[in-house]
Amino acid sequence: MKYNQTVEYAINNKIIESGDIFVYEDLPNERFYEEVYNFCSKNLEIQQVDGLLSTSLFLYYNYYSKNANAGIKKEHNVILINIGLMRNCFERFLYNVELNDYTERKWKKITDSFNTSVSHLAFQINTHFTYYHELAHLFQMSNKRSEIGLQERGSDGIYNIIQHKLEINADTFAAICIATQIQQYIETCFAEIDQYIVTNTITIFSACLLEHIICFSDSFKLYYDEKSHPHSVIRMFNIILNLTNHLSSNPKYIKKGINIEINFLFRKILDFHAELEKNGIFTSGFSDFVNSKMLDNDRILKHFKEIKELDKSDGYIDAMDVWNSRV
Ligand SMILES: [Zn+2]
């Protein structure tokens, strides 16, 4: 379905109020809204054809907060991405010309082989990541019958360990999807790959994803067993770990002698992100936080272990189990 058909369908079936739906037709960023819509709606179709989801819709939500949403409404799975989040991705990534200039100067041999600009690729990776995260939420609730909505960045401060577990699980799923996308992209752009191409391409995209995730938090004041959603820094840690872990086990890389050492790559991503901040290209302030030595890796890893070992799930399913059930 084209976007206007999806909008019409959602309104006719009373799934969402017409005033809540954002219509991008004839607007300056129409092309990019359309591009993301096409990617997400096609991907949702694949999940339906494969029997992993029932009827599912992707729409833009007419709200300005940097947020996204997945839920079940009138027996339809719905993913909503706020225009506030899209605008943030336009400004920070798509129209970040300095990001292109800087990466082209640093890794010309690599960026010359890309089929579009780094800023455009960063925009795609970050919007796709958000989509995959919401898709994971739909998988998690795939055996739920009643209407259900999950608001990201919940405003209430009440600690909910199940919600933390679901968020970390959705991020893990999305990180693996993005890792796969990066792998495919490298295969498309380079006839021959080597250690230099693979590690630096991963570094460029991962640093952009890091900046995207970090921007979901207003403060670097870390917390663990608090609030409804996990802190962005904790989320970022889990995402980059899963992304690098997945890429390091790629049989093609191993066969070619390309060695992706997780700790080395993790450090390289943080260093490149810090370099971009130092040059005013990214502005989250994360590198200052890293330099302040307040990042307690051991505490974060202990937290992941606690969440992973929690056997209570309130009827939600692990998104990875749904994904792996595909025949
Ligand atoms: Zn979420």
Query: How many structural domains is the chain composed of?
Result: 1
Within a domain: residue 280? yes
Dist. CA 228 → ligand 1 center (Å)? 11
Dist. CA 68 → ligand 1 center (Å)? 8
pLDDT of residue 148: 76
Q: Average pLDDT in the 200-218 region?
A: 94
Domain that holds residue 127: 94-324
Dist. CA 170 → ligand 1 center (Å)? 6
Are the C-beta atoms of 168 and 235 separated by less than 8 Å?
A: yes
pLDDT of residue 79: 97
Dist. CA 319 → ligand 1 center (Å)? 12
How does residue 152 score in pLDDT terms, banded at 50, 70 and 90?
low
Whether the per-residue pLDDT at 66 is higher than 80: the answer is: yes
pTM metric for this prediction: 0.96
Within a domain: residue 15? no
Q: What percent of the chain has pLDDT over 70?
A: 98
Beta strand spans in the chain (E): 56-61, 68-73, 76-82, 148-151
Dist. CA 141 → ligand 1 center (Å)? 12
Supply the DSSP string of 239-282, one letter for each residue: HHHHHHHHHHT-HHHHHTT----HHHHHHHHHHHHHHHHHTTS-
Within a domain: residue 7? no
Dist. CA 215 → ligand 1 center (Å)? 15
Non-local CB neighbours of 38 within 8 Å, separated by 6+ positions = none
- Using CA atoms, how far residue 95 sits from 28, 118, 208, 286, in Å, is 13, 10, 13, 21
Whether the per-residue pLDDT at 157 is higher than 80: the answer is: no
How does residue 118 score in pLDDT terms, banded at 50, 70 and 90?
very high
Within a domain: residue 79? no
pLDDT of residue 142: 87
pLDDT of residue 104: 97
Within a domain: residue 227? yes
How does residue 180 score in pLDDT terms, banded at 50, 70 and 90?
very high
Within a domain: residue 42? no
Q: Average pLDDT in the 206-231 region?
A: 90
Whether the per-residue pLDDT at 135 is higher than 80: the answer is: yes
Mean pLDDT of the chain: 93
How does residue 260 score in pLDDT terms, banded at 50, 70 and 90?
very high
pLDDT of residue 160: 86
Whether the per-residue pLDDT at 150 is higher than 60: the answer is: no
Non-local CB neighbours of 24 within 8 Å, separated by 6+ positions = 3, 30, 33, 34, 60
CA separation for the pair 269, 125 (Å, rounded): 15
Within a domain: residue 81? no
Dist. CA 167 → ligand 1 center (Å)? 5
Q: Average pLDDT in the 255-282 region?
A: 94
Within a domain: residue 222? yes
How does residue 144 score in pLDDT terms, banded at 50, 70 and 90?
confident
Dist. CA 124 → ligand 1 center (Å)? 19
